[in-house]
Amino acid sequence: MQDIDLIKKIQKEDGECNDELGELVDRHSGIYIDVVNRYTFTTPNNLHSLKDDLISDRALYIYKAALRFDESKKTKFSTFLGNEARWICLNQFNRNKHRRESTPLDVLINTLSSEDEKKSLTDRDILDKIFKLTKQSKDERVHKIFQSRYQYHTENKLTPWSIVSKKINLSIQGTINLHNKTINSIKQILKKEI
């Protein structure tokens, strides 16, 4: 059977097509896995779990692609599946990227908090100490950046860079650069104190 015949049976049977789906998965797993490997290469932190999850669920994603496939578009299924896999990877990457758990401030807090300190200092204590240090900066924009970005430092939300940069009248990239430079300076200061 050709791909299009398998796909038509899958679309028609609505879930009762294990043989056809198995054949389609056997034929196109290589393309799917190749795309997943290519597009999950640069994902942060949980690279392996994301890639492993996408590969282990390939039958589900190939099935969904078969259901969405439209032969009137004059595209081969392998091309369509490759594009679908790419979008799946990019969407997963964007979901992971927007998780707030890996901000430079979190890295700073984790770097400075040894097991003993974690018992006596909360993240809020460290944040307050950081605000005091930024207030002492010669560049008054530094404190405004940290106050604007982290004042409501919660698990779900940080103030977007576009809003922070408008408050200090600096470009977004300039604001991020000043922020990161300050983070590095604060690391050095706090490490000397610890």
pTM for this one?
A: 0.50
Q: What is the pLDDT of residue 127?
A: 74
CB 119 within 8 A of CB 69: no
Whole-angstrom Cα distance, residue 1 to residue 20?
9
φ/ψ region of 185 (left if φ > 0, alpha if ψ in -120 to 50, else beta) reads alpha
Question: Per-residue confidence of the chain (194 residues) as pLDDT tens digits?
Answer: 899 999 999 888 766 778 888 999 999 999 999 999 888 764 444 445 678 888 888 999 999 999 999 999 999 999 999 999 999 888 877 776 655 444 555 555 555 544 444 445 556 677 777 888 888 888 889 989 988 887 765 555 678 888 889 999 999 898 988 988 888 888 777 667 65
Query: What angle is formed at CA 66 by the lines to CA 64 and CA 69, rounded to 5 degrees?
Result: 110
Query: What angle is formed at CA 181 by the lines to CA 179 and CA 184, rounded to 5 degrees?
Result: 110
Backbone phi, psi, residue 73, to 5°: -80, -5
Domain annotation for the chain: domains and CATH numbers: 3-97 (1.10.1740), 101-193 (no CATH)
